[in-house]
Amino acid sequence: MTTASTHAASAEVTPIDRQARGPLLLLLVLGVLWLVPSGIFALLASVQLHSPQFLTDCAWLTHGRLEALQETAFLYGWAANVGLAIALWVLARLGGYPLRALNWTVAGAIFWNLGLVGGLVGIATGDMTTFSFFQLPRYVQPLMVLAYAAMAISGVLAWSGRRTDSTFAAHWYAVAALFLFPWMFLATEVVLIWLPVRGTVQAIAAGWYAQGVWTLWLAPLALAGCYYIIPKVSGRVLSSYESAPLGFWCLLSVGAWTGGRHLIGGPVPAWIATMAVVTSALMLFHYLVVALNFRGVASAPGTGATFIRFGVSAYLLVGLLEVLTSFRAVALHTQFTFIATAQTQLGYYGAISMMFFGAVYYLVPRLAGRAWSSAGLVAGHRGLVMLGVVGSVAGLALAGFTQGAGLLQATVSQGSIFEGMRLPLLLNTCAQATLLVANLLLVVNLIRTIATCCTTVDAAAGLFRPAMNLEAPAL
Amino acid sequence: MSFLSPSDPRVDQAAVTDESVISAHEKLLGVQPDEKGHYRLAPLNVLFFLSGLIMFGGTYLGRYAGYFDPRVYNENVLHGGGSGEAPVAIDPIALGKKLFNNAACNACHQATGLGLPGAIPPLVNSDWVTGSDEKLIRILLHGLQGPIKVAGVDYNSAMPAFGRVAGSGFNWSDDKIAAVLTYIRQEWGNQASGVSVEKVTAIHAKEGDHKPWTVVELEKLP
């Protein structure tokens, strides 16, 4: 399927990467650094689950605030920075020209992260909004939208000024994420903060946003990276690619409608929950298309592909579990238990973050013009982070099963339910510690790689093998 | 020129160029499933799968969406207000007992219905309770003030209004009023007839937001 091409040989080291080096490495480093506070918050919050006395005297670190801090640092620190870096880079590579308006990206990145620090201090002092995934205090929210828009400009320019008219799946997902996040965030801000709707509608709006963070923002960012990297490293066209547009529109049109899933069994009109059941089932189509398209990653070589394999498997598993737990008979056992937490962990860590890690491992040598500084740290991070994800999801799911079974029996006391959950929750704490250590390895490796790259650009000369031309298979 | 080994974990090698990734996939999008009379089954199967999901979704929505009525909270409700489940009949005694013991009744009249000697009249062996329900319903709806003689003993304290009337702190519906009255008329050895919701509603409509009753006013009633 590949033919040698002499002019393409040097295409792997391009001026595109050199131009983008500073701004995109800034985003990547900031994103990866956010994993450290987020990991510490997650560890402390997890300890409180089995040892409720821990840190109760410190108002800043009580459980509710720790959960909010962890989730905010993780989503808006790690996922947002790294996801944007991946999207911008993919758009630049596919656009064929160096990124423009990078000053805006740098300014946006600085204000986004300053706003986030301010927001976290606000959450710690009790100014959060009480809506899950939307906890940033109201006074930093306008700043965050503006900063995001500033960062996204160069991506939009790269897309609208691309070299060829034709587009690729990675384009669609990246551009969708750039536009959809500000729309979602602003719309939610209006209906929940500025002109708050009342009663039940608030819960519905908050559920829509929480699901949109997954289906309209982070999943598209992660998929954009995968759609670009998988054919690049496997050297083969994506299988069943003709279905990719339908898979994309399926995610965009019904994705956020699945938000009612979080409200099944709650005080909302029946049709909200029923709609969520139906749209979760429709999303099976999206997951099927992703599975077919990404079949080639199973045999693809390299570190990035290893992470992406894990991430895609987790992504598909999350999709199946979403359908399963959306049915009311199953939701009766799983809703409002740790099983929901386990699903979130599997989705945001096992799927999104692993796909992001894969993209980071692919991207950094090209941006920095050097290989990762240590193979040992790469292997250590890979092993520990996978162990951590599996451990925490297993621990939370086991705790959830115990909890769900106990809560349905009127004769079982709360105390004995918590006794039964103690061991699995301890497992979760160990897994959170493992994740923290793993991510510290990544931080060290990334900093060392960047610190030694600034001297020469042509270090890249012997780094990359010449790339071939990909040809579509004949029918 | 020497290259890093392709299996070096520190760098992922790209096998193909960006331009060719775009152009090769672009060609695939233009392909029709039945080009040159040659059907490819995979894309058709994917479409069949989507159609199946849409059919399931439509059917499920039609059956369980409560006709998109924002007031329907039970997904089993059928068109026209019927439900797949039989409506659960409410036992007025059980509801009355729950209300009596969880609202304010038992605070004064006690769970035994004996009241507090000298301060709160008893509900046991009281003609006010087991006698005419016309008076009893009015007392609970609007309250009672001033002296009253129960079982030969004089009392003088205030009974608050429980009905959905002006000045009531409880705002009980007529169903709840009927249930509690039925309960006290048939508990503790009392053996009077139950109180119907219809009668409570009729008196409620007739008297409206009447101020608390006095014994003098009540004695004019049947």
- The CATH number assigned to the domain holding B99 equals 1.10.760.10
Q: Name residues whose C-beta falls within 8 Å of residue B86's C-beta, 6 or more positions apart in sequence.
A: none
Say whether pLDDT at B92 is over 60: yes
- Write the pLDDT tens digit of every residue in A24-42: 999 999 999 999 999 999 9
Under a CB-based contact definition with an 8 Å cutoff, are residues B16 and A231 in contact? yes
B206 and B124 within one domain: yes
- As given in the structure block, the two tokens for residue B175 are 């169903």
Query: For residues A324 and B146, which has the higher predicted lDDT (pLDDT)?
Result: A324
Task: Confirm whether B3 is domain-assigned.
Answer: no
* pTM of the full structure: 0.80
Per-residue model confidence (pLDDT) at position A460: 56
Same domain, B120 and B183: yes
Share the mean pLDDT of chain A. Answer: 91
* Mean pLDDT value of segment B141-152: 84
- Looking at the fold, whether B97 and B180 belong to one and the same domain comes out as yes
**For residue A91, what is the nearest residue in chain B, using CA coordinates?**
B18
Bridge-based pairing state of the strands B147-150 and A469-470? unpaired
Buried b (16+ CB within 10 A) or exposed e, A248-284: bebbbebbbbbbbbbbbebebbbbbbbbbbbbbbbbb
B178/B203 Cα distance (integer angstroms): 12
Write the CA distances from A435 to A354, A432, B70, integer angstroms: 12, 5, 44
Residue B144 falls inside a structural domain:
yes
End residue of a domain, out of B36, B53, B81:
B81
Report the amino acid identity of residue A148.
Answer: Y
**Amino acid B93: pLDDT:** 83
The Cβ of residue A325 has, within 10 Å, a number of other Cβ atoms equal to 18
- pLDDT of A10 strictly over 70: no
Mean pLDDT of A110-126: 96
Contacts of A303 in chain B (CB under 8 A): 9-10, 12
Structure tokens at A285: 């189509």
Q: What are the chain A neighbours of B3 within 8 Å (beta carbons)? A: 462-465
Token pair belonging to A16:
């595109």
pLDDT of residue A119: 97
Task: Judge contact between A384 and A437, C-beta under 8 A.
Answer: yes
CB contact under 8 Å between A475 and B74, yes or no, is no
Using alpha carbons only, give the angle A445, A449, A450 rounded to the nearest 5 degrees. Answer: 120
Residue B88: is its pLDDT beyond 70?
A: no
More confident residue, A82 or A256: A82
A 10 A CB-CB count for B112 gives: 12
Name the minimum distance, in Å, from the CA of B83 to any CA of chain A.
Answer: 13
- Which pLDDT score, from 0 to 100, does residue A344 have? 95
* Whether residue B198 sits in one domain with residue B96: yes
CA distance B198 to chain A (A): 30
β strands within chain B, DSSP E: 147-150, 153-156
Least confident range from A4-18, A190-204, A375-389, A392-406: namely A4-18
As a whole number, mean pLDDT of residues A123-145 equals: 93
Q: pLDDT (tens digit, 9 = 90+) per residue, A388-435?
A: 999 999 999 999 999 999 988 888 888 899 999 999 999 999 999 999
- Tell me the mean pLDDT in the region A123-149: 94
What is the pLDDT at residue A8?
39
Say if residue B102 is in the same domain as residue B39: no
Per CB-CB distance under 8 Å, the chain A contacts of B57 are: 278-279, 281-282
Chosen domain end from B81, B100, B118: B81
- Domains in chain B: how many in total? 2
Q: How confident is the model at residue B38 (pLDDT cuts 50, 70, 90)?
A: low
| Residue B152 vs residue A233, higher pLDDT | A233
Asked whether residue A341 carries a pLDDT value surpassing 80, the answer given is yes
Q: What is the pLDDT of residue A2?
A: 41
Is B12 inside a domain boundary?
Answer: no
Identify whether B207 is part of a domain. yes
Per-residue model confidence as pLDDT tens digits over B186-201: 888 888 888 888 888 8
Which residue, of B30, B58, B81, is where some domain finishes?
A: B81
pLDDT band (50, 70, 90) for residue A207: very high
Asked whether the predicted pLDDT for residue B61 surpasses 70, the reply is yes
pLDDT at B133 over 90: no
